[in-house]
Structure 1
């Protein structure tokens, strides 16, 4: 098969949550355990760092990978979902897995796939593990897909587990309260393996403390040691300046990060605490590597879609935040940017609880509704427009995100602000990203 035929086979044969939703969800680890066993358990062939939580997993994973790369390590990075190309999920020192490697893996495992019938995510995780083992990575940074306890990535034994935060998302699978969701996310805590919490939350902290105590895992609360503040300073490349205190003493007066959203204050605290833990188990991570990795995170790892500046005049920003907590942070950051009018290109998936997210959006903005591309879960633009009107959000419908963005930029004054978001798939549909 060619690469294109291989992808068609993957999507046709294997249910993918990003496309079909609940039908793709597997509530056990049996398939991934059998897949890995058939491949010789490649996940045991490299060191790893496991990143879970609700929001900020991807940004945190990319930051840690970038710092490790800057320190000279050979770094694997597994994240999901992809924006443009399936191969974005599996990277080696920022470079996506080769098309030939994807074709070879699928051809080799096809008989096993047709027997076990794994999900798209399970097979992709197994592919990443084998690739990282074959490429002899020094360490792999592995992002959880959904939950943690039953996530296909949860067959690794990492050097460190990190949980970013807990908010309501995927309630139909993970539970309808923060403590229930936390219990699923806490499933990545392993016996005697240190765990970092990026953000202390009163409702969920007891869940993590109990799990860590049960597993005899040292637990570190990043925000107990680090306090991070986003300044208003941006450089010409869109990098933002942050200030950091450690144990209430000034630590960094200037720390430049290639990701500019306000919400990175939480993620950055978690990363700094994670670095302390990694150094304590033998990782050589210099001050220079820390600063270079954070400043050059986008170039080093190929990260896209997280507070990404698309153009100037009018300033146009996209972000993949898609649940209540993530969107709240993004909209708060947008509110701080000096501008005249705000234009919002908005697309969402059909299984999103819009009663939780639409009230967050400003009534004063002008809206351009569209349906996310490349997913069967897309909510038609007309349905989104009708529901948005219930919250006094007004605008027109467009055939796709690029048509909506073109209209927004034509309508916008040079001093206006344009935002594109609502779903990972809305951002993924942008041309030239």
Structure 2
């Protein structure tokens, strides 16, 4: 034969265009090229993506082939025989799916705003420092803050659970829980600080924290940022002159009142509240205990190095951004993995990457402020890893580790250990334990469902 050999579709070089099959029912000569090859070439892309000959049969039927055409033109007894022949001739080729969007893509602007609303309340202590004189005042303020942190952490978790049942259920939880938490924290501050300026400051702090919790649960960070403007402006003024006590009190009261009014406005609509279906109150207990432990650890850090707490507070926005980033990387790891071990390695790599980025930021902050790096980096690693586990519904292990760490640091002086030794030691051990738990738990594909 003088012409080139006829190749199967998809093999060898490009083939010359074949003439269209003439219409009619005349049989083809025995020496003519097999028209099934022409059909396979025309339908190569959809046939190559088929996973069963039945898909090819449906494709041919939708193409308008009749039984007469199949028998006379292609020499096959029926549709399914022709489909099986086509399926066998065309190599399988499954196109890659289009790149999926990241469902956990972080909102950088929102994280930045949340970072600001976490950091700006610290300016209230700069503005109201003249109202806090004596050890009793500081004790009352710290105790009220610890009660508020624990309560509001549990309340936040409870409200988010109720959001699944509707906004009305979450609003009801916040309407009842936020005032109760503010009352408990205020009472603690008044008992320990006593009536007077320090006690009033503790009450204002408790009310603000309760209102801020409501606004953060409702996703109204910008409203909270606006409420913080009086305190921010008053604290900025202290760079040039010392505001009188009346001006400082007015700025503090303005922020507290604005936050309370915004929170009350946010939960004003009652909405339908479904009966039952919510987890028990004990489900939020570990979140409250974690809030208490985190508050104690921050208090112990601030007692020896206040600038470390400032750096930690300023880093909270980036910490939240990294939590979202890890979840996005974990979803990408799920899509790229074909077996559990490969996913575990990719998830572990993402965890180390995100935790390393956060620790690097804290190290830069410690370098700029001249604060002790070891206690700050340890505390940051503990809190970020614990928050990551909580984001996946793992509540008791991080709460237990943080409570144990806080208790060990608080008892260290009685054992003759200084804070400079006890804090890095306890926090390093806690961070390693939490990192191990995170790798074990989050290395399972089922944890990311």
Smaller-chain TM-score bracket: under 0.3
| Structure with the bigger percentage of strand | 1
TM-score (norm 2): 0.25
Point out the structure with max Rg over C-alpha.
Answer: 2
TM-score (norm 1): 0.25
| Structure with the bigger percentage of helix | 2
